[in-house]
Amino acid sequence: MSQNLTIGLFGFGCVGQGLYDVLQRSVRFKADIKTICVKTRDKKRSLPDSFFTYDKRTILDDPHIDLVVELIDDADEAYHIVKTALQRGKNVVTANKKMIAEHLGEFIELQRTHNVSLLYEASCCGGIPIIRTLEEYYDNELLHEVSGIFNGSSNYILSKIFNEGQDYPTALKKAQELGFAETDPTLDAGGYDAKYKLVILAAHAYGIRIKPEEVFNYGIQYFATADLDVLKSAGLKVRLRPVARKLNETEITLYVIPEIISRSHKLYAVENEYNAVVVEAAFSDQQLFSGKGAGGHPTGSAVLSDISALTYGYKYEYKKSSGTVKVRYSTSVKLPVYLRVQHADSVEELAIENPEIIEKDGVYFIFGEIALEELIRRKKWLEDNRIFLAVLSSENRKLLEEVLLEDAVAV
Ligand SMILES: NC(=O)c1ccc[n+]([C@@H]2O[C@H](COP(=O)([O-])OP(=O)(O)OC[C@H]3O[C@@H](n4cnc5c(N)ncnc54)[C@H](OP(=O)(O)O)[C@@H]3O)[C@@H](O)[C@H]2O)c1
């Protein structure tokens, strides 16, 4: 049954203002934003002062506010706001992926205990409706894999490198100027943002609850001209690809690692700040969802959809976690990889299986297999040595070998 909601909004930045615009322009749906809590007192606002408060209690203590929409940029403070709101019997909509990924288990319990609903469609890939799709549409489908491009800023950087020949620092600066990138570039380019989203999607796709720090993420920061030259000659590209893959009936693996892809790959044409999710299932096969993963209006639209869902009492049921077959997270998987290193002895350091080393112009290109467990153990070493690492298929490995062996030396 449809119900009117009185909203207390936290945050009036990019997404908060985007939501306000979207609400103003939505013809059929009317919701009442009663109070907006922000942080900075002397900021110029586009709405009258009477809307704003600087004290979170004005919203949290207000018995007439039944829905808290949390859109601030501070994950720790957001956690306290969301937890308190749920404990006080208020429904919550949020876009904060870090907070959800880190506290999902506790939030699920709070929803049950206090009979409230917490929705967070906007936390994963902005305007792409993927959480409810996994939760509802794929509730009984056998999902083999959920992957994609979950971070617009790293995809924008890779697009500028591959399509315009920009170097990494120039492309990163441009992404920051355009507002796509976080101030700390490691969050985007290092795969952390994508990892938070992966952890959330895996909970809805497979019913698996895992802490983000348990999942391996490796970024695109160490991608260099030497990689670009060889990849372009082979007609290949790189995408930063988060993957949740079913290994067997009871095991799922998760990781975020750059992947070398060819023109036939579903993610090849997804460029710039766009996001995409590829769902691979037993019966529906591969499906690609793509769209704007960030920005005030696309993200505001996902928040609006959650608000609207609450008017008819929607809750995530976390159906997959209540099934009879429990799945567990596994790192016992071997990945076919490409590495570009300065020293051939990196092979021993990294325990690469069946390695093939090709030296070209004083740079060593290594192909082989690495266990995900080894990567987790050696992440710091990889980063300290600024090694570029990517996953690739055997077909793409062959293409790269052909390019490299034209005038290079197999070691
Ligand atoms: N931007 C996107 O495209 C996008 C996409 C998907 C998800 N998200 C998520 O959406 C959330 C908001 O992002 P955003 O880009 O809108 O951030 P933003 O533009 O930086 O705005 C942040 C807002 O939060 C307010 N704020 C910060 N700390 C606060 C506190 N302790 N109490 C009350 N208000 C506080 C700020 O107040 P002042 O106005 O006073 O500074 C500001 O209005 C984040 O979780 C982000 O990860 C963003």
For the segment 332-361, the average pLDDT, to the nearest whole number, is 91
Taking the centre of ligand 1 as the mean of its atom positions, its distance from the CA of residue 13, in whole angstroms, is 5
With left for phi above 0 and alpha for psi between -120 and 50, is residue 239 left, alpha or beta?
A: beta
Taking the centre of ligand 1 as the mean of its atom positions, its distance from the CA of residue 75, in whole angstroms, is 10
* CA separation for the pair 161, 228 (Å, rounded): 8
Q: Which amino acid is at 48?
A: P
Atom number, ligand 1, closest to the C-alpha of residue 294: 3
Range in 109-113, 162-166, 175-179, 398-402 with the lowest mean pLDDT: 175-179
The SS3 call for residue 75 is helix
Best residue for ligand 1 mutational test, from 36, 71, 102 (most atoms within 8 Å of Cβ) = 71
For 99-209, strand residue ranges (E) read: 118-119, 143-149
Atom number, ligand 1, closest to the C-alpha of residue 37: 33
Q: What is the pLDDT of residues 162-194, one digit of tens each?
A: 999 999 999 999 988 887 777 788 999 999 999
- How high is the pLDDT of residue 409? 65
Taking the centre of ligand 1 as the mean of its atom positions, its distance from the CA of residue 79, in whole angstroms, is 13
Q: What share of the chain is helix, strand, coil (3-state, %, to 5)?
A: 40, 25, 35
Q: What is the pLDDT of residues 221-241, one digit of tens each?
A: 999 999 999 999 999 999 999
Question: Is residue 3 predicted with pLDDT exceeding 70?
Answer: no
- How high is the pLDDT of residue 177? 84
For the segment 21-36, the average pLDDT, to the nearest whole number, is 89
- How high is the pLDDT of residue 1? 45
The SS3 call for residue 38 is coil
Q: What is the pLDDT of residues 97-108, one digit of tens each?
A: 999 999 999 999
Please give all residues whose beta carbon lies within 6 A of any atom in ligand 1, as ranges. 10-16, 37-40, 43, 71-74, 77, 95-96, 122, 126, 294-295, 299
Identify which of 323, 97, 86, 305 has the alpha carbon closest to the alpha carbon of residue 194: 97
User: What is the residue whose two structure tokens read 């404990």?
Assistant: 87
Q: Give me the chain's average pLDDT, please.
A: 94
For the segment 61-71, the average pLDDT, to the nearest whole number, is 97
* CA separation for the pair 222, 297 (Å, rounded): 33
Taking the centre of ligand 1 as the mean of its atom positions, its distance from the CA of residue 20, in whole angstroms, is 13
| Degrees, nearest 5: CA angle 61-318-323 | 150
Which pair of tokens denotes residue 116? 């409230």
The string of DSSP letters for 340-397 reads: EES-TTHHHHHT-EEEEEEEETTEEEEEEEEEHHHHHHTHHHHHHTT-EEEE--HHHH
Residues 36 and 53 sit within 8 Å (Cβ to Cβ):
yes
* CA separation for the pair 296, 356 (Å, rounded): 47
Q: What is the pLDDT of residues 204-221, one digit of tens each?
A: 999 999 999 999 999 999
Rg of the chain, C-alpha, whole Å: 23
**So which residues are the catalytic ones?**
197
* CA separation for the pair 366, 126 (Å, rounded): 36
pLDDT band at 321 (very low <50, low <70, confident <90, very high): confident
Question: Is residue 257 predicted with pLDDT exceeding 70?
Answer: yes
pLDDT band at 2 (very low <50, low <70, confident <90, very high): low
pLDDT band at 408 (very low <50, low <70, confident <90, very high): low
* CA separation for the pair 204, 318 (Å, rounded): 6
Residues 12 and 38 sit within 8 Å (Cβ to Cβ):
yes
User: What is the residue whose two structure tokens read 């051939």?
Assistant: 344
